[in-house]
Structure 1
Amino acid sequence: MVSLNTAQPGAWRADSRALLLLALPLILTNLAYVALTTIDIVVLGTLGAKELAAGGLAIALFNQLRTTGTGLVTGVSNLVAQANAQGDEAQVRALLVAGLFWATVSGLVFMALLLGLRQPLTWLGQDASVVANAMDFLLIIAPGLLPCLWFQALRHFTVGLKFPGPLLAITLVSIFLTAALNYVLVFGKFSVPAYGLAGVAITSAVVFLLSFLMFLAVVLTHRRLAGYFTLAHLRFSPAAIKAVWKLGLPIAGTYASEAGFFSVLTLLIGTLGMEALAAQTVLNQIIYIVFMFSAGISHAASIHISEACGTGQYRRARQLGRVGLGLGVLVMLLFAIPYALLPEQVIGLFISTEHANNLDAVRLMTTGLLIAIVLQVFDASQNIGNGILRGIGDTAGPLRISLFGYWLVGLPAAWLLGIVSPYGIFGVWAGLALGLAATALLLIVSFERQLKTLERTGAIEVCNASI
């Protein structure tokens, strides 16, 4: 008889295959979503370093608040699933209203915050011309927060009903619309004036609205879901409003902390000049694209580890965690090859490397890619570390570790190496790498220690994974 607390010999290959099979569709969906921002960054790069810096700063600030607002309505899916399991359709409808309520409230509040950033950005030492262009960008894109967050509220509502809807298909359509509208509005095609930087902002706001309307059309015409949207049956429930707030607030806080760390680093780099900010925009987007691969692996590893823990297979859970980490590092090293051998070609996908006005920014990006090789290995490791800990039921630990690694290690190191020391943007990136490395190390150590405890006690517990 084979013990449940053992990993089968030769299972590494099977575990790797299983993780990749589950991770692949997750990665594809992630990449489809990130393609929207990537198109904007590429288009901004064609306009020049000044526009890239301003647009990149505006997008970073917009995404900070968008991510926070998304966190606030993320808990809707859990609450809807619970109410649906109990057959409480009235509560399901109340949660739909509550999700849309908080999406609207947070959208309006965050819009106001975005539109009031001109003076704070100036106080923080950002280039005056960059601030002016960034604020023009935000003035246009800020209203897009409302349909963007409405989309997220609907998404989590339908996920709670086990109907995620054609999210990938809608995202793919949105990619096409983003590319087409940018082509027309930014460069002035088909007798439409060339709006330049403003065209990117207009495109983003319009695509957010169209994506929401497409998703709404799907649910309104779906046989099962349409009934929940009957106006006569919708109701405003203070209890549901409170429940969504109570569950969503800590999630929003977690999202805000993680996104805020990178936003603060962007502002820190902005004090080093327009070229540095342009370099940060491009390199951050490159790393963000590659990050989607580790995010998919992290989610897949978390799910498989949960299953292993649920049947007491703790040694296999440990092996799955190690396989996930190994796959993540391997993928990051594969991406390092073009970084090292073809840096100008990689950068050239986002900005002209031959334009005289871009040469200083391109020089920073070329060196930055070498730092990114190390940085993204640590980034993938901490991301997968979060996932494998969630797989064994630990959600509080990763939050504490991430807060420590980001804010108490990464940010001070970035400030000391990049601002106090003469290393500039390279010092900031090195500080970021140190913060990610500290976070990854602590997460992995925590995973190994907790698995040892589970193996030693032999307790058969179902690990509640955050899937």
Structure 2
Amino acid sequence: MFFRDARSLLVLGVPLIGSHLAQMAIHLTDSIMLGWFSVEALAAQVLAHTFFFALFIMGSGFAFAVMPMVASAVAMGDETQVRRVTRMGCWASILFAALALPLILSSETLFLALDQNPRTAALAAEYLDIAGWVIVPALLVMVLKSYLAALERTQVVLWLTLGGVAVNGLVNYALIFGNFGFPEMGVRGAAIASLSVTSATLVALCIYVAAATPEHAMFQRVWRPDWEALRDVVRLGWPIGVTNLAETGLFAASSVMMGWLGTLPLAAHGIALQLTSVTFMVHVGLSNAATVRAGQSFGRRDRGGLRRVALVSGSVSGAFALLTAAAFVLMPEPLLAIFLSPDDPDRGAVMAVGVGLLAASALFQLADAGQVMALGLLRAVRDTRAPMIIAGISYWVIGIPASYILGFPLGMGGTGIWIGLAIGLAAASTLLAVRFWRWTERWATDG
């Protein structure tokens, strides 16, 4: 039974993991190429992307809400509901993007207010003047990905994203460094590449959805509002968005604190964060698969199936977390070296900081895996407001103060900041897991 359920989870989850990793690879390519361009450009991109991602992941709450809603509707045979919630997920995402864009396009003022290096702040704002517009197609891509994942059509998302990785790398190579007759544009070139690739991915996904799922007529009269469905998506999605923001805010605050330590520690932080984010994408993919499977069980009122999904997905995710923790402890230098030119005079200093950060990162691999899995399971059963409160307390009341105290008053620097991250994530993982299992006990009793 366990291995059958694990196989079912992985059949759905592996393409999702691949698509998340491929999406991450687009940003990873930006970081690697900008790191080879200059450490200053890398630091600016780290700062810019941290701010952008905080808003993007908050807006993604509506896309994450679409996934369990579509999965449950499919399990109940309600095709009309599938169309309604997906369309209104797109509406909610566009409305959020319209509110976020003014903040993104005035980012330099915020960076300076947070006491960042003026040159780094200016470069980061230059990047966001172009890349900030990515939030519109990126959020719509997230909604369509959630829709297709709930329908268990994940292969196309994987292949489209992989294609985007290749195109993004080629455009980056041309525009960042000035190859193929193009001018050398640095961070602006990376921003143009990101906007172009994300927009092309959205167009391709829309074409596929229209052709492959005609029964849903997804884009017919898409301009017509469905206030009831929009209310349902927003009601479920906004707590997810705030929860996402709480976690992202924890890492954003750590980037700000690392910026106080200087450009080189911030660059090392950015590299370590990229590596940690790669492993996190595996857990996000497994969590998405668990959301779909648990959402199906929830729609069928299958209590036993829901609990099996939780046990199997948690076990698979935990096993991978142990492997990545070992890699961060045993082989940090080769991982860090990927992002730095052998000839960069700051290479040694950045590597020295990065080794300590990866060691601290190993501490929270299991905790990070546990909290994202618990969140995915709770979303499947429509429980989003209590997790939002738990996340806020764990990350902002526990994690951020711990990072500051360990990093500065106790003098542990960047390593202390990252240990504080581990403390916040561990608190969230524990509390969210307890919440889910208590919910299932009550559901069994009430059912």
Q: Secondary structure at the match of 2:249?
A: helix
Q: Which runs of 5+ in 2 are unaligned?
A: none
Matching residue's letter, 2:243 = T
* Distance of 2:291 and 2:144 partners within structure 1: 25
Deviation at 1:293, TM superposition (A): 2.2
Counterpart in 1 of 2:99?
A: 109
The sequence identity of aligned pairs, in percent, is 28
* Distance of 2:404 and 2:444 partners within structure 1: 46
Counterpart in 2 of 1:264?
A: 253
* Distance of 1:189 and 1:271 partners within structure 2: 35
* Distance of 2:213 and 2:11 partners within structure 1: 31
* Distance of 2:224 and 2:380 partners within structure 1: 36
In the alignment, structure 1 residue 401 sits paired with structure 2 residue 390? yes
1:95-117 C-alpha deviation (Å, 9 max, x unpaired): 73x55444333223212101212
Structure index of larger Rg: 1
Does the 8 A contact of 1:312 with 1:460 survive in 2?
A: no
Deviation at 1:141, TM superposition (A): 0.9
Counterpart in 2 of 1:249?
A: 238
Structure 2 CA distance for partners of 1:244 and 1:54, relative to 1, 3 Å: same
In the alignment, structure 1 residue 364 sits paired with structure 2 residue 357? no
1:178-207 C-alpha deviation (Å, 9 max, x unpaired): 111111111222111221222111111111
Deviation at 1:375, TM superposition (A): 2.0
1:122 to 112, 117, 124: 112
Structure 2 CA distance for partners of 1:253 and 1:269, relative to 1, 3 Å: same
Deviation at 1:440, TM superposition (A): 1.9
Counterpart in 2 of 1:3?
A: none
Does the 8 A contact of 2:84 with 2:226 survive in 1?
A: no
Q: Secondary structure at the match of 1:173?
A: helix
2:267 to 251, 254, 278: 278
In the alignment, structure 1 residue 54 sits paired with structure 2 residue 44? yes
Counterpart in 2 of 1:342?
A: 331
2:132 to 134, 142, 160: 142
1:133-186 C-alpha deviation (Å, 9 max, x unpaired): 101111121122222233344555666788778222221111111111111111
* Distance of 1:236 and 1:275 partners within structure 2: 49
1:218-246 C-alpha deviation (Å, 9 max, x unpaired): 34555716955356x85345566555544
Structure 2 CA distance for partners of 1:199 and 1:296, relative to 1, 3 Å: same
* Distance of 1:423 and 1:400 partners within structure 2: 29
* Distance of 1:311 and 1:80 partners within structure 2: 14
Q: Secondary structure at the match of 1:356?
A: coil
In the alignment, structure 1 residue 375 sits paired with structure 2 residue 371? no
Q: Secondary structure at the match of 2:116?
A: coil
* Distance of 2:153 and 2:313 partners within structure 1: 28
* Distance of 2:215 and 2:92 partners within structure 1: 21
Counterpart in 2 of 1:194?
A: 184
Counterpart in 2 of 1:204?
A: 194
Does the 8 A contact of 2:12 with 2:154 survive in 1?
A: no
- Relative to the length of structure 2, the TM-score reads 0.85
- Relative to the length of structure 1, the TM-score reads 0.82
Q: Secondary structure at the match of 2:125?
A: helix
Does the 8 A contact of 1:53 with 1:130 survive in 2?
A: yes
Between 240-249 and 365-374, the greater mean CA deviation after superposition: 240-249
* Distance of 2:444 and 2:95 partners within structure 1: 48
Does the 8 A contact of 2:149 with 2:292 survive in 1?
A: no
* Distance of 1:75 and 1:362 partners within structure 2: 40
1:65-119 C-alpha deviation (Å, 9 max, x unpaired): 1222222455456389869966769x957973x5544433322321210121212
* Distance of 2:264 and 2:100 partners within structure 1: 28
Counterpart in 2 of 1:45?
A: 35
Matching residue's letter, 2:320 = V
Q: Secondary structure at the match of 2:60?
A: helix
Does the 8 A contact of 2:83 with 2:216 survive in 1?
A: no
Q: Secondary structure at the match of 1:229?
A: coil
* Distance of 1:328 and 1:95 partners within structure 2: 28
